[in-house]
Amino acid sequence: MEVKVIEAAPEQRKPKPPSESQLGFGKIFTDHFFTMTWNSGEGWHDPVVEPYHPLQIDPTAMCLHYGQEIFEGMKAYRGKDGHGVYLFRPTENIKRMNVSAERLCMPQIEEKLFMEALEKLLSVDQDWIPRSEGSSLYIRPTMIATERALGVHPSNEYLFFIIMSPVGAYYAEGFSPTRIYVTEEYIRSAPGGIGYCKAAGNYAASLYANEIAKKIGYTQVLWLDAMERKYVEEVGTSNIFFLINDELITPPLSGTILPGITRNSIIQLAKKWGMHVSERKLSMDEITASIANGAMQEAFAAGTAAVVSPVGWIFYRDHEYALAEGKIGKLTRRLYDEILNIQYGIQEDSFGWRVKILN
Ligand SMILES: *Cc1c(COP(=O)(O)O)cnc(C)c1O
């Protein structure tokens, strides 16, 4: 199966954003997108890169009623001195999307076809990849159920599409430690659920607690486990790490946590640096005790959008705790620099994480 390319006519093309410093996140989209459809008779067919346009789906399309919708988030980077276009561990995103697809009874996508779609889409829209330091092109592969029917069952038709958005340096004004709010009342995921999938429903379920946090001045929610409301799981839509007594701790992948690619990269880097890294349960009691006795050194969130994001303050049971005096920890800074330098080709990539997609 060949990916067809239909290039946008000059009048279908959008003006490029005037200033890369004002890109923000997820507001501007490129001139093209990739689409392909699936049905139970033909499997995936008609893969095409075409001019970006609104989708037409029936009001009964099953994704709108029963939530069969999954996605991924990855980035393309221009190499040093503007040479080449690179992705960071893209096959990990493809594998994870297929894991999400399996859990939601959606069809698998072959890695080779997925990579060809990315390559052809990036090729026609390469002028959209920003050039300024720290900027990149965010890529959002998405799959939705499109069968026209009510009644709960796995859809017989799907649409897969990939859209792309130029994004500025996440920390345009510099690193600023975030304020996080621990909720004991709400959870994002429970054992046996879909917490390990990048499925739309997980994000809908997280909004309510996040609004509560925002109302009292916190940027993100720190989620606890569903069973005991005791152990930390994730922060907002990122994985969480704590450095306590020189032990780098992150919760284990027990099915309720999204297996972040940034999380995995941090674990591998920290181990390479000879650090003591633990994937283990970490309770709020241990966290508050280690803040009280001075063992807590730093905490940060990890995900593709921001890479790492320092945690400055934690609100838990009517108390606000400051971490690293609300400053950026040394390890947080080192990981951020190291991962960005690998992504942009400034530093040697000893793990082979960088994949050249265009020359
Ligand atoms: C995407 C995501 C992450 C981070 O994953 P990366 O692969 O590092 O981007 C963590 N938690 C949740 C809930 C996510 O959706």
- Of 27, 47, 42, 49, the closest CA to residue 107 belongs to 42
Expressed in angstroms and rounded, the spacing between residue 116 Cα and the centre of ligand 1 is 24
- Pick from 196, 268, 304, 336 the residue to mutate for probing ligand 1's pocket: most ligand atoms within 8 Å of its CB: 304
Residue 103 lies in a domain: yes
Residue 349 lies in a domain: no
**pLDDT per residue over 30-56, tens digit each?**
999 999 999 999 999 999 999 999 999
Residue 23 has pLDDT above 90, yes or no: no
Residue 260 lies in a domain: yes
Amino acid, single-letter form, for residue 27: K
Residue 95 has pLDDT above 90, yes or no: yes
The binding-site residues of ligand 1, defined as CB within 6 angstroms of any ligand atom, are: 73, 198, 234, 237-239, 258, 260-263, 303-304
Question: What is the predicted pLDDT for the residue at 169?
Answer: 76
Amino acid, single-letter form, for residue 260: G
Residues 111 and 136 grouped into a single domain: yes
Question: What is the predicted pLDDT for the residue at 79?
Answer: 85
Residues 162 and 295 grouped into a single domain: no
Q: How many helices, marked H, and strands, marked E, lie in the chain?
A: 7, 18
- Pick from 96, 180, 239 the residue to mutate for probing ligand 1's pocket: most ligand atoms within 8 Å of its CB: 239
How much is the pTM? 0.96
The percentage of the chain sitting over the pLDDT mark of 90, rounded to a whole number, equals 86
Question: What is the predicted pLDDT for the residue at 37?
Answer: 98
Residue 350 lies in a domain: no
The percentage of the chain sitting over the pLDDT mark of 70, rounded to a whole number, equals 99
Chain centre to alpha carbon of residue 313:
23
Q: What is the band of 254 on the pLDDT scale with cuts at 50, 70, 90?
A: very high
Question: What is the predicted pLDDT for the residue at 174?
Answer: 65
Residues 199 and 158 grouped into a single domain: no
Residue 103 has pLDDT above 80, yes or no: yes
Residue with the two structure tokens 């069968």: 147
Question: What is the predicted pLDDT for the residue at 268?
Answer: 98
Please report how the helices 261-272 and 330-343 are oriented relative to each other, as an axis angle in degrees rounded to 10: 110
Residue 69 has pLDDT above 90, yes or no: yes
- Output the CA torsion sign for 206, 212, 218, 219: positive
Amino acid, single-letter form, for residue 185: E
Residue 20 has pLDDT above 80, yes or no: no
Residues 138 and 198 grouped into a single domain: no
Domains held by the chain: number:
2
Expressed in angstroms and rounded, the spacing between residue 149 Cα and the centre of ligand 1 is 31
Q: Which residues contact 89 (CB under 8 A, 6 or more apart)?
A: 261, 265, 353, 355
Most confident of 9-18, 242-251, 306-315: 242-251
The range of the structural domain enclosing residue 24 comes to 4-167
Expressed in angstroms and rounded, the spacing between residue 35 Cα and the centre of ligand 1 is 23
Residues 332 and 207 grouped into a single domain: yes
Ligand 1, residue 195: give the atom nearest the CA: 13
Give the span between the Cα atoms of 234 and 227, in whole angstroms.
15
- How far are the Cα atoms of 30, 163, 182, 300 from residue 17, in angstroms, in the given order? 10, 17, 38, 31
Give the span between the Cα atoms of 126 and 93, in whole angstroms.
21
Residues 160 and 18 grouped into a single domain: yes
Expressed in angstroms and rounded, the spacing between residue 210 Cα and the centre of ligand 1 is 16
Pairing of strands 43-51, 157-167: unpaired
Residues 10 and 99 grouped into a single domain: yes
Expressed in angstroms and rounded, the spacing between residue 176 Cα and the centre of ligand 1 is 20
Q: Which residues contact 42 (CB under 8 A, 6 or more apart)?
A: none
Rounded mean pLDDT, 15-24: 78
- Of 286, 281, 223, the closest CA to residue 249 belongs to 281
Residues 202 and 294 grouped into a single domain: yes
Residue 81 has pLDDT above 90, yes or no: no
**pLDDT per residue over 129-164, tens digit each?**
998 878 899 999 999 999 999 999 999 999 999 999
Residues 197 and 163 grouped into a single domain: no
- Output the CA torsion sign for 180, 183, 187, 190: positive
Question: What is the predicted pLDDT for the residue at 184?
Answer: 97
Report the mean per-residue pLDDT for the chain. 94
Higher pLDDT, 183 or 131: 183
Q: Name which of 18-27, 31-40, 116-125, 311-320 the model is least confident about.
A: 18-27
Pairing of strands 307-316, 319-322: antiparallel
